[in-house]
Amino acid sequence: MTREEALQLVQSLIKNPNLVKHHLAVEAVMRALARRFGEDEETWGLVGLLHDADYEITGHDSVRHGRVMADMLRERGVDEVIIEGVMAHNEALGVPRDTKLKKAIYACDELTGLITAAALVHPEKKLAPLDTQFILKRFKEKSFAKGARREQILTCSELGMELEEFTGVCLEAMKGVAGDLGL
């Protein structure tokens, strides 16, 4: 599956423009992490782009979320590495996070939401003026972006990255696609 085909699939399944932006943010972060670890950027990017594409179909049904997308991808002949990466972001599916790709998608999914929320509370409502310290300060505020599960973000340590470094990589990746994110 090409990136263009994946984006078309996401856009055909997701009607909420903010959710499409979330996909683009996670894709950018996964690509940056792939570069950092010397991994295949296309594969990692596709996992990030596709990870939540079944969300509007499955909603809050955690038993189906990711599994429906996996079935769609299998029907299209997509590589099992991508399919397992998509499924690994949802811990309810019980897919072992036994590769860097699976660990990365799990940790960065929540952090992209926290970074987006931080941009939206900043006076400029943009990513450009944000720095890692601004994000980490928001991270420590338990009432800020309550939906962003901090314990999931902290699994970045399984990648051999401290929270500050992980946050910096993710923030810079999102700044690189800020125009697409409207931030």
Specify the CATH number for the domain of residue 81.
Answer: 1.10.3210
- Please tell me the distance from the alpha carbon of residue 9 to that of residue 1, in angstroms, as a whole number: 10
- Within a domain: residue 47? yes
- Within a domain: residue 158? yes
- Please tell me the distance from the alpha carbon of residue 150 to that of residue 76, in angstroms, as a whole number: 34
Give the range of the structural domain holding residue 80, as residue numbers without chain letter: 3-177
- Within a domain: residue 122? yes
Report CA dihedral (121, 124, 128, 130) to the nearest 10 degrees. Answer: -40
Which pLDDT tens digits describe the chain residue by residue (183 residues)?
A: 999 999 999 999 999 999 999 999 999 999 999 999 999 999 999 999 999 999 999 988 999 999 999 999 999 999 999 999 999 999 999 999 999 999 999 999 999 999 999 999 999 999 999 999 999 999 999 999 999 999 999 999 999 999 999 999 999 999 999 999 999
Count the domains in the chain. Answer: 1
Max distance between CA atoms of the chain, in angstroms, equals 45
- Within a domain: residue 182? no
- Please tell me the distance from the alpha carbon of residue 101 to that of residue 4, in angstroms, as a whole number: 21
- Within a domain: residue 20? yes
- Within a domain: residue 119? yes
